[in-house]
């Protein structure tokens, strides 16, 4: 179900510095095992002094083992910017983005930025969730692609899931590469096992449905 052209342009994400329109061939998507491609992500380089300013973006591929690689197959992402210090952020079609708390020196010697490690400080407070294995991950459930995760009330992220399956029969499901597929299993479900609305409630705290969570990107 993974599209061969990056999905972020059509979803309204902003590109900069030559990013946007990236494509990947069917043969790369057919790879299995730990290097199988499981989704697209958007990587941003932001100004070291003004982190609200996005200097360059690249739509990249996420492998099953957690690596982010370029569509050209290189283990590094290539940006048309001078070597120097940048904040690095990672974004996804229905997860909150996360950004390094401080700028990172990016040049020929940089081996990578690991957002799964607690030692990688991120901007803001609680920008990522912690998985059962201790690794860090992005918060899921941002179906409306805004900066606030809501379960109830105006502009909530639950209602679009019901609307996607028809709006009247909550047991209906729909398959496809969609922002409403919060748990990324290829099916949009509103009720039952592995449904897509429960993670929204869990990620705002799990007990108070009126609670909200805010994305920690400047």
**pLDDT tens sequence across 20-39:** 999 999 999 999 999 999 99
Rounded to two decimals, what is the model's pTM?
0.96
Last residue within a domain, chosen from 108, 138, 168: 138
Nearest to 149 by CA among 99, 91, 194, 96: 96
Kindly tell me the burial class for residue 120, based on how many C-beta atoms sit within 10 Å of its own C-beta (0-12, 13-18, 19 or more). Answer: middle
Do 156 and 204 belong together in one domain?
yes
Determine, yes or no, domain membership for 1. no
Residue 63 backbone phi and psi in degrees, to 5: -90, 165
Q: How much is the pLDDT for 195?
A: 98
Domain count, the chain: 2
Determine, yes or no, domain membership for 194. yes
Determine, yes or no, domain membership for 2. no
Do 82 and 12 belong together in one domain?
yes
Do 13 and 110 belong together in one domain?
yes
pLDDT tens for 157-171 read: 999 999 999 999 999
Q: How much is the pLDDT for 19?
A: 97
Do 152 and 132 belong together in one domain?
no
Do 122 and 159 belong together in one domain?
no
Last residue within a domain, chosen from 112, 138, 164: 138
Determine, yes or no, domain membership for 3. no
pLDDT-derived band at 116, boundaries 50, 70, 90: very high
> Distance between CA atoms of 151 and 162, rounded to whole angstroms?
12
When the pLDDT of each residue in the chain is averaged and rounded to a whole number, the result is 96
Do 17 and 69 belong together in one domain?
yes
Do 127 and 206 belong together in one domain?
no
> Distance between CA atoms of 39 and 64, rounded to whole angstroms?
9
Last residue within a domain, chosen from 103, 138, 173: 138
Do 127 and 195 belong together in one domain?
no
Domain that holds residue 182: 148-214
Determine, yes or no, domain membership for 17. yes
Average pLDDT of 123-140?
A: 97
Do 200 and 159 belong together in one domain?
yes
Q: How much is the pLDDT for 187?
A: 98
Q: How much is the pLDDT for 37?
A: 97
Determine, yes or no, domain membership for 131. yes
Do 20 and 97 belong together in one domain?
yes
Determine, yes or no, domain membership for 94. yes
Do 132 and 188 belong together in one domain?
no
Q: Please give the residue that has the higher pLDDT: either 102 or 74.
A: 102
């Amino acid at each position: 179900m993974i599209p061969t052209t990056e999905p972020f342009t059509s979803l309204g994400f902003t590109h900069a510095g030559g990013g946007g329109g990236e494509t990947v061939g069917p043969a790369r998507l057919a790879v299995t095992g730990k290097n199988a491609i499981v989704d697209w992500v958007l990587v941003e380089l932001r100004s070291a002094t003004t982190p609200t300013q996005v200097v360059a973006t690249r739509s990249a591929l996420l492998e099953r083992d957690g690596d982010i690689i370029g569509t050209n197959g290189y283990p590094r992402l290539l940006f048309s910017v001078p070597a120097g210090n940048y904040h690095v952020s990672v974004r996804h079609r229905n997860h909150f983005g996360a950004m390094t708390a401080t700028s990172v020196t990016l040049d020929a010697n940089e081996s990578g930025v690991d957002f799964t490690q607690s030692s990688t400080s991120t901007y803001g407070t609680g920008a990522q969730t912690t998985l059962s294995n201790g690794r860090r991950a992005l918060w899921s459930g941002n179906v409306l692609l805004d900066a606030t995760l809501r379960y109830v009330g105006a502009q909530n992220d639950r209602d679009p899931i019901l609307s996607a399956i028809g709006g009247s029969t909550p047991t209906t499901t729909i398959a496809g590469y969609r922002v409403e597929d919060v748990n990324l299993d290829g099916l949009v479900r509103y009720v039952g096992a592995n449904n897509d609305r429960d993670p929204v409630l869990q990620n705002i705290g799990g007990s108070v449905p009126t609670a909200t969570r805010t994305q920690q990107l400047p």
